[in-house]
Structure 1
Amino acid sequence: MKLSKFVFAALTGIAISAASVSSVYAHDDKYFDSIKSPNGGQTRMAGVYHFELVLAQDSKTAKENPVTVYVTDHGNKGIATKGATATLTLVQGAKKTTVELVPEGENRLVGKATYASTANLKGALTVTMAGKPAEQARFTPFAIVKKSSAKPANKEAEHAHEHKH
């Protein structure tokens, strides 16, 4: 009976340790909103990818504007988008627009969509990298995000370090 209690305790300890380690590798939206994104967009994590959505920030009325998604790994290294497919659905009030994004350059997906740069603009991104399952991320690019007052000296370096395996 003592052996079964020992095994149970050991397995419980391993499970707790695994949960603690996995939380280091996953960031929530609040974390991404507290750091500056490399291209001035909003970053979200889905699976092993970071997706940074960059939209026009000065379009006061709904018109055709560029859409760019940068794809990186957890160390902020670009991931090739060749062969990837993607769609972005933008929702602004009662209006909904879906745009197909195509690979461009090393790690970008691009397209054009009709939208205005307002705080109620939201987006749902679906990306299928070549030979991989689809990943999804949700964005609120123009929502005002409260910045964290406690910032490490170098959050980007801390972030990259956390993801080394």
Structure 2
Amino acid sequence: MSLRQYVNKSVAGIFLALLGMSLSLSMSKGNAFAHDDKYFDSIKSPNGGQTRMAGVYHFELVLVQDSKTAKENSVTVFVTDHAGKALSTKGASASLTLVQGANKLTVNLQAEGENRLVGKASYASTANLKAALTVTMAGKPAEQARFTPFAIAKKSSAKAASSAKPEPEHQHEH
């Protein structure tokens, strides 16, 4: 091996080692481009629900908005990737645990259509409703997300009423 080949190989090796260290360091600190709950609560979700990120997925929980008392209502979760592209829910399993005051119930959701998980649960559309979603996509590990769908909706409505300034647009790439 000539000196030139040795130097080129060494430089390439050092570059790859630094790149690997940089990637593992950024992953250990979390994804710098990840969206947090505050970000999702500042934008309108495509289907009028509340969106959360879990792993490589975005889950949008859509509940009935006008149920003043607890009764059987629909539950829909839309599954997309970070760019908003619909992901197939075929073969997925999911459950949603709803906690409202002292009441707690878990409902199993079924895959439906292109990227939906659906079910029915007894709940009222009140600010104290909390939800925990567990989704296992076909062949993938389980992911979990937590929601407070009506608490956020009420805050957003109050914020919009008190401020005429529009929200900034979503301008970064995924």
Q: TM-score, normalised by structure 2?
A: 0.77
Equivalent residue of 1:22, what SS?
Answer: coil
Task: Pick the aligned partner of 1:23 from 32, 45, 63.
Answer: 32
4+ residue runs over 2 A deviation: 13-22, 144-152
Could you tell me how far 1:17 is from its partner in structure 2? 7.8
Give 2:129's aligned residue.
121
Which structure has more relative contact order (CA 8 Å, sep 6+)? It is: 1
Could you tell me how far 1:97 is from its partner in structure 2? 0.9
Q: From the two aligned structures, give the one with the greater helix fraction.
A: 2
Q: After TM superposition, list the pairs within 5 Å mapping 1:3-18 onto structure 2.
A: 14=22, 18=26
- Output one character per residue of 1:91-140: Cα deviation in whole Å (capped at 9) or x when no partner: 00000010000000000000000000000000000000000000000000
Give 2:108's aligned residue.
100
Q: After TM superposition, list the pairs within 5 Å mapping 1:26-65 onto structure 2.
A: 26-65=34-73
Q: CA RMSD in A?
A: 2.6
Could you tell me how far 1:22 is from its partner in structure 2? 2.6
Where does structure 2 lack aligned partners over 5 or more consecutive residues?
1-13
Change (3 A) 1:62 1:77: same
Give 2:5's aligned residue.
none
- Output one character per residue of 1:70-105: Cα deviation in whole Å (capped at 9) or x when no partner: 000000000000000000000000000100000000
Taking the aligned partners of 1:93 and 1:122, their CA distance within structure 2 comes to: 9
Residue 151 (1) aligns with residue 173 (2): no
Equivalent residue of 1:143, what SS?
Answer: helix
Taking the aligned partners of 2:108 and 2:35, their CA distance within structure 1 comes to: 27
Counterpart AA for 1:65: N
Where does structure 1 lack aligned partners over 5 or more consecutive residues?
1-6
